[in-house]
A = this chain, B = another copy of it.
Amino acid sequence: MPDCPPVEAPFDHGLRRQTVVRAVLTDIFHGNLRAGQRLVTESLANRFNVSHTPIREALIELRGLCVVELLPNRGAVVRKITAQSVREVCQVRKVLECEAIRGAVRKIDRKRVATLATEIRELAASPANPEAVARAQNLDNQLHDAIYAASGNEFLAAELDRLRTLFRTFRDVTWDLELARREYHRIAIEATEHLAITDALLAGDARSAVAAMTIHMRSGQMYWVQVTTNLKNLPSEKETIKHSPQ
């Protein structure tokens, strides 16, 4: 195949939807899309250079993440993201993650946890820079994924897996803000929280594992709530669409 790829390489066949989902999510959290704003399929279609089909499908998935509302025959509107709503998301996440870790204590692979703990310690000891943030994100992913997988509840794992897109986009946006501020303090804080979790897992202590996870969630909540202060999603009060009841 001697021909070089053309100017445009949408190499995401079968992943278009996911791409759109993540892009829209990021846009919302960055404040580019404001609450109450209507998401017109056609605009999004040529914004992302794809056809209606994946856009429509992405909107359905976004509705599953509760960031947009789907009004029958009226399309999608962006839901409000406020400090309150972030707290609500975190509350749900908390009960799910705690349930997951409660089940994972007995089943999780200790060796894997020990490896992760070592890496977390290394990270905490290493210099704080943008590269460290990327490593922190990666370790966070791995730890939580390991817990989901070991929860012993496939439905719960699938549910958390689905919501993961939401959580991680949010988390990454939060880190973006920290990066912009050259603020790396959070790396150490998170490492401490993660180590409390790994310690409890290694000790096989369900009660303290749940406690550690609760602390981790509470900390993340405080952290995430900050994002909303940067969101100017309130000014368009009149743009709110009145929606028919149910």
Is B162 within 8 A of A64, CB to CB?
A: yes
Copies of this chain: 2
Q: Is A89 an interface residue (CB 8 A)?
A: yes
Query: In the complex, what distance in Å separates the CA atom of A64 from the CA atom of B156?
Result: 12
Is A66 within 8 A of B13, CB to CB?
A: no
Instruction: Give the secondary structure class of A's interface.
Output: helix
Taking residues whose C-beta sits less than 8 angstroms from the other chain, chain A's interface range is 20 to 34
Is A99 within 8 A of B91, CB to CB?
A: yes
Is A91 within 8 A of B153, CB to CB?
A: yes
Q: Is A61 an interface residue (CB 8 A)?
A: yes
Q: Is A88 an interface residue (CB 8 A)?
A: yes
Q: Is A109 an interface residue (CB 8 A)?
A: no
- B contact residues around A158 at 8 Å (CB): 66
Q: Is A226 an interface residue (CB 8 A)?
A: no
Q: Is A127 an interface residue (CB 8 A)?
A: no
Q: Which of A31-39, A52-60, A128-136, A231-239 contacts B (4 or more CB under 8 A)?
A: A52-60
Is B155 within 8 A of A85, CB to CB?
A: yes
Is B14 within 8 A of A153, CB to CB?
A: no
